[in-house]
């Protein structure tokens, strides 16, 4: 695995790969790798001749706290895991080169902002970074997981609206622990008691999916199933029943996304589940 640290190097690696007829699979991460990240790498390695990972765990900016690390990163561990999973080139951006001064450009998708879901300011920062990163690479396939559904929908739409050089978005299922809790870097911040309790989040979505399978078509009533399951265990941050493209629905039909988030001692555990009516 080759580790590079400059924009010129990553551009050169991508140009050389395409000139050699190689397909590029791109995976982005802010660090603290787990098997969810590695599943994306393995998927990309199976589909492409070159797997390029952006590892942004060292970036921090004074002009926004929305992208700065909020949990510890083990640099050496992450690099070893990335190489073992099949990463060919790992790019560690230097924040001072990416944005030597605060950017004046904003990339925003207000129609995908939803009350109670991800902070719109954080989404805008993700939009800005991802647009820049994908333009740096050029043509590639972008590998993302279902866990961060809102960001996935946002990036698909950005790619269409801004003609980003993404050949396709490849979506992998959420990787879960045996009790159903999605793998997430933030899980290491949970106490043992809160970690056990967190299983209520995927269970609440399974209960809502069962209600739909049993014939419930009222979005408000399906949402109530999620809340009723989570509320006795942990404070509900949000419970949503939306279209697959994050639009409000009243009567369920077609592809639906059930979404839930609960607070466990200050750590928010979020999950989502797709159902088709």
Q: Does one domain contain both 224 and 136?
A: no
What's the token pair of residue 209?
Answer: 């999916």
Q: Produce one character per residue of 85-103: b if its CB has 16 or more CB atoms within 10 Å, e if not.
A: bbbbbbbbbeeeebbeeeb
Note if 75 is an active site residue. Answer: no
Q: Does one domain contain both 165 and 221?
A: no
Select which of 34, 37, 43, 194 is catalytic.
37
What is the extent of the structural domain holding 7?
2-172
Rounded to a whole number of angstroms, the CA Rg of the chain reads 19
Q: How confident is the model at residue 166 (pLDDT cuts 50, 70, 90)?
A: very high
The tally of domains found in the chain comes to 2
Q: Does one domain contain both 162 and 40?
A: yes
User: pLDDT tens-digit profile of 173-202?
Assistant: 999 999 999 999 889 899 999 999 999 999
User: pLDDT tens-digit profile of 201-238?
Assistant: 999 999 999 999 999 999 999 999 999 999 999 999 99
Residue 246: CATH number of its domain? 3.30.1300.10
Q: Does one domain contain both 27 and 110?
A: yes
Q: Does one domain contain both 147 and 198?
A: no
Q: What pTM was computed for the model?
A: 0.92
Please tell me which residue, 69 or 53, carries the higher pLDDT value: 53
In a domain, 177, yes or no: no
In a domain, 108, yes or no: yes
In a domain, 216, yes or no: yes
In a domain, 236, yes or no: yes
In a domain, 29, yes or no: yes
Share of the chain above pLDDT 70, in %: 97
Share of the chain above pLDDT 90, in %: 88
Q: Does one domain contain both 153 and 201?
A: no
- Which of 148, 172, 196 delimits the end of a domain? 172
User: pLDDT tens-digit profile of 115-152?
Assistant: 889 899 999 999 999 999 999 999 999 999 999 999 99
What's the token pair of residue 40?
Answer: 């994306």
- Which of 123, 148, 172 delimits the end of a domain? 172
Q: Does one domain contain both 30 and 158?
A: yes
pLDDT of 67 reads 60
The Cα–Cα gap between 100 and 64 comes to: 13
pLDDT of 63 reads 87
User: Please, are residues 30 and 58 in contact by the beta-carbon 8 Å criterion?
Assistant: no
pLDDT of 65 reads 72
Sheet containing strand 236-243, edge to edge, reads 236-243, 255-264, 267-276
Lowest model confidence (mean pLDDT) among 79-88, 107-116, 151-160 = 107-116
Residue 144: CATH number of its domain? 3.40.50.620
């Amino acid at each position: 695995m080759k580790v590079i640290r400059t924009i010129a190097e990553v551009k050169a690696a991508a140009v050389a790969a395409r000139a050699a007829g190689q397909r590029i699979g791109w995976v982005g991460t802010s660090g603290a790798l787990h098997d969810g990240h590695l599943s994306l790498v393995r998927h990309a390695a199976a589909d492409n001749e070159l797997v390029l990972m952006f590892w942004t765990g060292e970036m921090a900016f004074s002009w926004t706290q929305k992208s700065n690390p909020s949990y510890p990163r083990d640099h050496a561990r992450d690099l070893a895991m990335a190489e073992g999973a099949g990463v060919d080139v790992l790019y560690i951006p230097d924040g001072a080169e990416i944005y030597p001064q605060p950017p004046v450009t904003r990339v925003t998708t207000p129609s995908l902002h939803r009350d109670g879901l991800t902070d719109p300011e954080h989404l805008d920062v993700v939009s800005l970074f991802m647009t820049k990163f994908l333009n740096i690479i050029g043509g590639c396939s972008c590998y993302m997981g279902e866990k961060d559904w809102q960001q996935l929908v946002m990036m698909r739409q950005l790619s269409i609206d801004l003609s980003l050089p993404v050949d396709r978005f490849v979506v992998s299922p959420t990787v879960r622990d045996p009790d159903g809790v999605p793998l997430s870097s933030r899980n290491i911040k949970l106490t043992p008691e809160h970690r056990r309790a967190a299983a209520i989040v995927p269970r609440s979505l399974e209960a809502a999916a069962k209600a739909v399978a049993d014939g419930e078509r009222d979005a408000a009533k399906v949402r109530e199933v999620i809340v009723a399951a989570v509320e006795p265990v942990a404070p509900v941050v949000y419970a949503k029943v939306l279209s697959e493209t994050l639009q409000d629905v009243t009567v369920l039909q077609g592809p639906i996304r059930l979404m839930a988030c609960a607070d466990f001692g200050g750590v928010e555990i979020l999950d989502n589940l797709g159902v088709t009516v």
